Structure 1
Amino acid sequence: MGNEKKELELYIHVPFCIKKCQYCDFLSAPSSKGERQEYAESLCRQIRTYGELAKAYHVVSIFVGGGTPSILDKEQLLGIFDAVRDTFTVDGDAEITIEVNPGTVTEEKLKAYLKAGINRLSIGLQSAKNEELQLLGRIHTYEEFLSTYGLAREMGFGNINVDLMSAIPRQTVEGWERTLKKVLGLRPEHISAYSLIIEEGTPFFERYGKGGHVDELPSEEEERRMYWRTAKLLKDYGYCRYEISNYALPGYECRHNLGYWNRTEYLGIGTGAASLMDNRRWNYGEEPVGLSVREQMEEFMFLGLRKMEGVSKAKFEESFGRGMEEVYGKVLGKMYTMGLMEGEGEFVRLTERGIDVSNGVMCEFLL
């Protein structure tokens, strides 16, 4: 029993885009063909350095994110997966996802994804309205998304996520609902519905940040209506909300993302990728920093509370040797009284009201 391999998730970062979106603060930038080739070769070398570490683990999920990973050509992508499978033991039923953007996917690339064992696509759509896509700085139209989605289905992909974004400048509640209904009509297995955040250092911050054209952004009330309309519509269409911003048809919850929220160990490979192993965190190229028990408890709560099922009292005690009530009794009592959380049975979770102010609630769990 002592020799059993532990579960591990792999995250592989591809920091390239055709064009940076107006709202994006992720680590990504345009690139030349030569830069992409050099980076892909570097990734393969990095992956192969983990041979010794890999002996203690079996890989349960892989997520290739970015940037726009679908910007890589098929040989580069297949080379990366050859390096992964040469180095790590990958479960036969591992969930393997790649992020793709319309306008960067071809039949040839999709065939390569299947050959590499990729069984889940995450397509960045954001909006079904071309004017909104243009405003966001996306490189594609809604029609190009439909073409990519249709091609993926033809090629046999049976697990597709679509990313959507609400609270876009000049967007109305009705316009957001039209986007939702168009996408729901396609029946993707998973929908990630995020609200636009105006991040510093982006063109959107220059235009819509403090003192900017804030009047073009939906009001707080409109944003809340979009939020709850999303939950209601997706529920009506048979999607289960399993995390604050994520919805899935039964059985299609993203296992990789659940791993993050459950603090499953994960290894990030590539520029800027983050890792969590042996209760140590680090970004690629930096020295690991050990987490104190206090920090582990905090993460357990504020990551786990993103899930609709909440956090397990039994799992907390098993992990830390102390009861949740002993550590957080005062905070939990306050949240229950305010109607922001509920805690009957084994799980403690946010209420509907608590989800509305989730960031504030989660801050309460910093010790």
Structure 2
Amino acid sequence: MKEIGLYVHIPFCIKKCKYCDFISYRQNNSMIDSYVTALTKELSMHKNTLRDYKIKTVFIGGGTPSILDINKLDIIINQIHKNFDINSRAEVTIECNPGTLTKEKLKFYKNIGINRLSIGLQSFNNEILKFIGRIHSKEDFIDNYNKARNAGFENINIDLIYGLPNQDMKDWEGTLKEVIKLKPEHVSAYSLKIEEGTVLYRLLDEKKLNLPSDEEDRDMYHFAIDLLNENRIRQYEISNFSKNGYECMHNLIYWNNEEYLGVGVSAHSYLNQKRFSNTNDINEYINFINRGELPIQMEEYKNKEDEITETIFLTLRLNKGLDLMKFHDRFQVSILDIYGDKIRKLIDLGLLTIKGNHIRLTSYGMDVSNQVFVEFL
């Protein structure tokens, strides 16, 4: 059977972080009830969609999925198993906010087959956490991280953000060193992006943000790469690092441009050469489902040329880069026959390199990766 990833979106938070532009809603018990009911219906509506697939990864993201009480999550997990064929060794991840975890929840997650946690820390500086709108402290994080270990979790990701307001290199170094002490299997480290419509965007417009310079931001990035690599948490993607064998299987589906199904409000899918996404409006989403209709608001079929382009700039995000032989096997054409001139130009500029059977971004290429990707659009 073909393999696929399943993404489940839980769009609720206790409050929205000041940098967040994701589709999320404040915690509301009656809305959560209606949403979970609709979500389980959407899962059953896709039973035939995935009848020829085996699910190799499940990723429950948000929002804050750990905001759900145990019985709601139990309903969702049971519905997934009822409708789909799940690989017995599937990676099953749930995103967690340290301010919403409990010993009881963690024990339950483990018992229902969740085997990977992605916990949002962002910073070990409590003043910065408060300023960006996080609902937890570093002490909350450490407490719940230890509870997760005691519950038996052996695959934990810690999410971090650098380039935050009022953050300097000393602060970032301190955060990384505290994280390394905890010996996580995986670390995600993202540069802060200030998106339009967020609180930070307004503060920036009002000149009320003290942000690191672009140069300081790049220094933080390279410091993270070096320090994490030294501690055997090695970079395998532009913003992701792991111990050997603990790369995020679900995200690798995205970066290898493989198929996945997304359910829930605003969720995206890629299936049978078609990208499609659900409505961004939660009330519209629920109404669609209650009428027995899939809540799809966008559909876009991808021809071979589209697939080639997307495969190039997605796989180039990976440290190992693009495998020339796999590319040829998938598309029955050599990438050098299509983009040979552009690839040679990017090599001359020090942005790409060819080593063995792979084309990869150089260290400088990773710094300006979007400029590289544009060349293939």
Answer whether TM exceeds 0.5 for this pair.
Answer: yes
Distance 2:148 2:109 in 1: 10
> Which residue of 205, 212, 220 maps to 2:207?
212
Residue equivalent to 1:25: 21
1:170 partner SS: coil
Identify the residue that residue 282 of structure 1 maps to in structure 2: 276
Any idea what the Cα deviations from partners look like across 1:239-266, whole Å, max 9, x if unmatched?
1110000000111000000111011210
User: Counterpart of 1:171?
Assistant: 167
Q: 2:59 aligns with which of 54, 59, 63?
A: 63
**Post-superposition offset of 1:322:** 1.5
RMSD of Structure 2 on Structure 1 (CA) = 1.0
Q: Secondary structure at the match of 2:297?
A: coil
- Structure 2 residue identity aligned to 1:319: R
Q: 1:202 aligns with which of 198, 215, 225?
A: 198
1:315 is the counterpart of 2:326: yes
Is the CA contact 1:243–1:307 (under 8 Å) kept in the aligned structure 2? yes
Q: Secondary structure at the match of 1:138?
A: coil
Equivalent-residue separation in structure 2 for 1:287 and 1:174 (angstroms): 45
What aligned pairs does 1:181-192 form with structure 2 within 5 A after superposition?
Answer: 181-192=177-188
In the alignment, is residue 137 of structure 1 matched against residue 156 of structure 2? no
Identical-pair percentage: 44
- SS of the equivalent of 2:124 reads coil
By how many angstroms is 1:314 displaced?
1.4
Q: Does 1:246 align with 2:240?
A: yes
**1:305 equivalent in structure 2:** 316
Residue 287 of structure 1: how far off its partner (Å): 4.7
Q: How many Å separate the matches in 2 of 1:314 and 1:244?
A: 22
Q: Does 1:357 align with 2:352?
A: no
Report if aligned partners of 1:190, 1:248 keep a CA contact under 8 Å in 2. yes
In 2, the alpha carbon distance for the partners of 1:206 and 1:23 equals 10
1:112 CA drift (Å)? 1.9
Q: Which amino acid aligns with 1:275?
A: S
TM-score normalised to structure 2 length: 0.94
**Structure 1 CA distance for aligned equivalents of residues 178 and 104 of structure 2:** 27
Alignment match, 2:343: 332
Instruction: Identify the residue that residue 282 of structure 2 maps to in structure 1.
Output: none
2:336 is equivalent to residue 341 of structure 1: no
| Structure-2 separation of matches of 1:54 and 1:324 | 31
Work out the CA distance in 2 between the residues paired with 1:361 and 1:190: 27
User: Residue 107 of structure 1: CA displacement?
Assistant: 1.6
1:296 correspondence with 2:307: yes
Aligned mate of 1:221, from 215, 223, 236:
215
* Among candidates 74, 84, 91, match of residue 95 of structure 1: 91
Gaps of 5+ in 2: 279-295
Please report how far the alpha carbon of residue 307 of structure 1 lies from its aligned counterpart in structure 2 after TM superposition. Answer: 0.2
Number of matched pairs:
360
How far apart, CA to CA, are the structure 2 residues paired with 1:125 and 1:26?
17
After superposition, what is the alpha-carbon deviation per residue over 1:48-107, rounded to whole angstroms, capped at 9, x for unaligned?
A: 112222220000000000000001110000110100000001001000000000111112
Query: Deviations 1:198-235 (Å, cap 9, x if unpaired)?
Result: 100101011114x6346x11011111110110001001
Q: Give 1:323's aligned amino acid.
A: S
Counterpart residue number, 1:36 = 32
